[in-house]
Amino acid sequence: MDMLVLFLTLITFQSSTSLVPCISHYCPPIPEKGKITTDKEIPMKDVGDVEHGCHCRENPNVYTLCFNFKDKDIPCLGFPRNVKVVTAVLILKSTFITEIVRGDFINLENVEVMTLDGNQKLLYIQPFVFENMTKLTTLSFIFNPLLLSLHPDTFQGLVNLKELHLVKNGLHSIKQLSVTLKANILPKLYKLNLNENIFKNISEFDFHPMEGSSLVELNMILCGIEHIHPRALKPLKELAALRVGENRIDFDFLIDMLRETLDMGINLQLLDLYSSGFRTYKHRSLLEIVAKSNISTLILARNQFDILDNESFPLLMPSLISLDLSDVSAQSINNQAFTNLPNLRTLILAKNKLSFFGASEQLPNLTYLDLQENTDVYGWEFFLTRSEFKRMKLEYLSLENTRLILLTKTDFGYIPELRILNLKKCNILKIEDDTLSGLVNLKTLNLEDNRFFRVWVIFYFEIFRDLVI
């Protein structure tokens, strides 16, 4: 029989309204059903200034994109002030602009989200250039490599700015940058993303100009940081989320900084140490800090924990709700591995080398489990029966890109709380009848891109008989 592919993309049996995998503000996002809106179907509308090399196109009610029209023949050397932007989102991308001049954005008072992306000639932004953009809530400067510094009054006027993304530019001084981010200039700043700049050393007083800031989230991933003073974050009293992964910070310096930050009364709730060189045998001092804190979300992705057992998390951590162990080379999980995480609700184990999930018995409160990419297409199979998902109260389970081949009626069992099941690209050939009969509250099932050798008529497939479409 020829191989026929059954595509069932995000079959929604009932509207999934309020699934929350964990109670933290920083939970992983729930995949939403793809939507095709009328706005996206409308052709892009030209809104002018080709004559000066800057071409702008409008996707009505969505965004306006301004870019270089004919590359070097007619380069876009200045922002097109005569263009009327009526959308709330503006993107300025891949131009030859060297300087943003005061008055360039004089007609953009209704823009709420603005991105300057890939302007590789951009050298300077004049002060007060955003002075009339009081509605702007999100501002992004991404990959402008010649932008080495900012004037202290660059962001004057952005009284409602909540998110500032300064990613992959040429910035190299936290001290110089923090002067532009004073609390009286950006009174509502919530999130600051400084990823992929080069800072190297952060001293005790570099963040002092930000004393009194409302900043809650600080991202400094891949910033080449070699040293950060233990008391460097003291001015950021409201800081709750810190992402400092993939830097060059010595392990002991990092631990000292985290310990001192918490001792100063900064109530961290999310800690991201992505690719920070942690190993199973040398992370106890980190766990001691987490155990004594209110950290509820811990991200240890791209570190190394090849065997997860009762020594991996030996200390009681009742505050921990979300744990990311994706791509940590995990090959096996002992049933006692997460015994000391009694309130864990979100566990991400994607991109590992597991053949089954062996810790179901000790996770009574887990609702969100991500096991994507734990086998490759031609590798071993993942054993669902041995994983015993029925022991938990899962609401979300993803096995995308994990090789399953055959689904039987004993694989899942009775999981009454499960509402979202992702089985995309699992190399599934066949699903036996009654396989899903125990998933009595399933609302979303993704069977996209498998290798079924049998096609079911949509209103007459027996395997889905207990599900209400």
pLDDT attached to residue 462: 58
Cα 375 from Cα 450, distance rounded (Å):
15
pLDDT attached to residue 467: 58
Cα 79 from Cα 19, distance rounded (Å):
44
Cα 386 from Cα 388, distance rounded (Å):
5
Q: Please say if the pLDDT value at position 6 is more than 50.
A: no
Give the sign of the dihedral formed by CA 19, CA 368, CA 434, CA 426.
positive
Cα 437 from Cα 414, distance rounded (Å):
8
Query: What's the number of CA atoms in the CB half-sphere (13 Å) around residue 136?
Result: 29
Cα 454 from Cα 445, distance rounded (Å):
18
**Checking DSSP bridges between strand 332-333 and strand 346-348, what pairing results, if any?**
unpaired
Query: Which whole number is the average pLDDT over 356-385?
Result: 89
Q: How confident is the model at residue 196 (pLDDT cuts 50, 70, 90)?
A: very high
Query: Which whole number is the average pLDDT over 271-285?
Result: 88
Judged by average pLDDT, the poorest of 24-33, 165-174, 288-297, 440-449 is 24-33
CA distance to 228, 394, 422, 454, per residue, from 436 (Å): 52, 14, 13, 17
What's the full length of the chain, in residues? 469
Query: Phi first, then psi: what are they for 290, rounded to 5°?
Result: -60, -40
If you average pLDDT over each of 63-67, 72-76, 209-213, 247-251, which comes out highest?
209-213
CB 239, CB 268: distance < 8 Å: yes
The mean predicted confidence, pLDDT, of the chain is 87
CA distance to 206, 218, 233, 260, 314, per residue, from 246 (Å): 21, 15, 19, 21, 25
pLDDT attached to residue 47: 72
Tokens of residue 395, six digits:
């609401």
Q: Write the pLDDT tens digit of every residue in 407-427.
A: 998 999 999 999 999 999 999
Q: How confident is the model at residue 36 (pLDDT cuts 50, 70, 90)?
A: very low
Share of the chain above pLDDT 70, in %: 84
